[in-house]
Amino acid sequence: MNYLEKYFYNLNIALEAVFANRFRSVLTALGIIFGVAAVIAMLAIGNGARQEILDQMKMVGINNIIIRPIYAEDDSRDEATRGRFSPGLTLQDVESIRRIVPTVHRVSPEVEISAYAMKDFIRRPVRVAGVTPEYFDVFSLGLSRGNMFTPQQMQDGASVAIIGNNIRAIFFGNTDPIGKQIKAGQNWLTVIGVVEDRMVTEDAVRSLGVSEFNNVIYIPVQTMLLRFQDRSAVKIEEIQMMRRGGGRRGGGFVIMNPAGNDEEEVKYTNYHQLDRVVVQVDDSGQLSPTADVIRRMLVRRHNNVEDFEVIIPELLLEQEQRTKDIFNIVLGAIAGISLIVGGIGIMNIMLASVMERTREIGVRLAVGAKKTDVVFQFLSESTIISVAGGIMGIFLGIGLSRGIMHFTGILTIVSLASVIISFGVAATVGIVFGYMPAKKAAAKDPVTSLRYE
């Protein structure tokens, strides 16, 4: 008998032993099954979380800094800045950032309001955003049809609009909206483009301030300021309020007590001309220094009133990713422990099997089997159990991952690497923990084994 025939002969004996004790073999493999399934499911959750982070980074753009106004309900500034006037975020701030900060690649101002859109007896609440063409470049947002705002339209504040995909579906159906009109608020707008379909998660909208692109009517920012609203413009009511003894401070009005200088009532309104400014830098390594320069410059422009916040979404997302990575490592380690427990179970069952089959081992050694044959036989049994458990665990893990995504809405992505890693670990566990029982079986004395009852 050559080596290959001997190999298959010993493997056949191992298979016969496994199938002869099917129930015990399945129970032995349970630890491996659940361990592999848990590892695949945990890695799938981790891959899903990582993909969500990458999607969010695409939504907020690459190398972006977001500047948002602060709306204070009370005067929480210190005594040094209390009572100082701030013009808020304005287009002048945008031009200063573009002109002064050398690391800036693009600057995108935004003004957003809520309004009702109407067309052909259809009336729906929508968001109207005043933007520049740089907005679409910053967020890598293309047009599915139509054209971008022209410089002349931007300068003149033309009544043109680029609509989101949901707006197109609601108001225009299957017809081509280009060149047609839609009413937003009190203004009729001519549609010149449609934004490509882009889904945004609620977490991104809430934590990163990303707009839900599909449900917005985009107009030139000058159109917004000229035809809709300009919060930085001084109104007649404000002049009358100041004449009655109030003072404009931070865009709100301070009504003075006639009996003294104590404040009787303070009202704050949104005085910022812009709702958001997105700054895109050339290099991600310049994010933090650029953000610091912008913050210092805006503080000076706002009369030392810091009525804005500077956010670096990429750093927030990286921190979130690190937190999730640590969480996934912990979950993966806990799941991996079950593989170790399963390996210990295999070793215990195989040790018991060696004790039960002492006479069989003695017979094999007496008729000429070598110790390596006995080692291979019992090692094959443990490996077969662990490999079979690994295969069943893979199917269970994939099913568990899909069940988690279906019932909880958590994104799970099963990768080939996770399947290979978990299956490889399962096979390794069977070999490592099966070696000791196999070695113990081969070390038995044939004469003693034949006398064993």
Q: Is residue 77 part of a domain?
A: yes
Residue 223's pLDDT is 93
Q: Provide the pLDDT for residue 61.
A: 62
Residue 377: which region, alpha, beta or left (left: phi > 0; alpha: psi -120 to 50)? alpha
Residues 127 and 16 in one domain: no
| Structure token pair of residue 334 | 């806990």
In a domain, 65, yes or no: no
49 and 187 share a domain? Answer: no
For residues 45 and 85, state if they share a domain. Answer: no
Query: Are residues 360 and 211 part of one domain?
Result: no
The count of domains in the chain is: 2
Asked if 213 and 148 count as a contact pair (C-beta separation under 8 A), the reply is no
Is 26 in the same domain as 81? no
- Of the candidates 306, 330, 356, which is a domain's last residue? 306
| 216 & 140 share domain | yes
Contacts of 278 (CB under 8 A, 6+ apart): 61, 64, 65, 66, 67, 107, 108, 110, 135, 138, 139
Alpha-carbon Rg of the chain, whole angstroms? Answer: 35
- Asked whether residue 80 falls in the same domain as residue 211, the answer is yes
Residue 362 and residue 251: Cα distance in Å, rounded? Answer: 96
222 with 86, same domain? Answer: yes
User: If you search the block for the tokens 């005043």, which residue do you land on?
Assistant: 130
The answer to the question of residue 382 being in a domain is yes
Say whether both 21 and 166 belong to one domain. Answer: no
74-78, Cβ contacts within 8 angstroms, sequence gap of 24 or more: 74/266, 74/268, 75/249, 75/250, 75/266, 77/305
Percent above pLDDT 90 for the chain = 21
Identify the domain boundary among 253, 279, 306. Answer: 306
Task: With respect to residue 392, please indicate whether it lies within any of the assigned structural domains.
Answer: yes
149 within domain boundaries: yes
Is position 90 within any domain?
yes
Provide the domain limits for residue 279: 71-232+271-306
**What pLDDT does 190 receive?**
94
Query: What pLDDT score does 258 carry?
Result: 38
For the chain, residues with pLDDT lower than 70 are 1-7, 10, 53-62, 72-84, 199-211, 234-269, 314-321, 323-324, 328, 331-332, 335, 445-453
Integer Cα distance of 361 and 333 in angstroms: 38
Q: Which of 387, 388, 393 is nearest to 431 (CA)?
A: 387
In a domain, 172, yes or no: yes
**Phi and psi torsions of 253, nearest 5°:** -120, 135
Could you tell me which residues come within 8 angstroms of residue 299 by beta carbon, excluding any fewer than 6 positions away? Answer: 305, 306
* pLDDT on residue 54: 65
Strands 160-163 and 187-195: parallel
Cα-to-chain-centroid distance, residue 186 = 38
Residues 197 and 224 in one domain: yes
Could you tell me if residue 216 is inside a domain? yes
Give kind and range of the element (H or E) at residue 269: none
Same-domain status, 355 and 391: yes
Of 250, 284, 306, at which residue does a domain stop?
Answer: 306
Q: Is 18 in the same domain as 167?
A: no
Asked if residues 128 and 115 have their Cβ atoms less than 8 Å apart, the reply is yes
What integer pLDDT is reported at residue 179 of this predicted model? 93
pLDDT at 55 (0 to 100): 67
What pLDDT, on a 0 to 100 scale, did the predictor assign at position 117?
92
Query: What pLDDT, on a 0 to 100 scale, did the predictor assign at position 151?
Result: 92
Residue 18 three-state SS: helix
- The confidence score (pLDDT) of residue 434 equals 80
Q: Would you state the pLDDT for residue 178?
A: 94
Give the position of tokens 């290099």. 283
Q: How many helices (H) and strands (E) does the chain have?
A: 15, 13
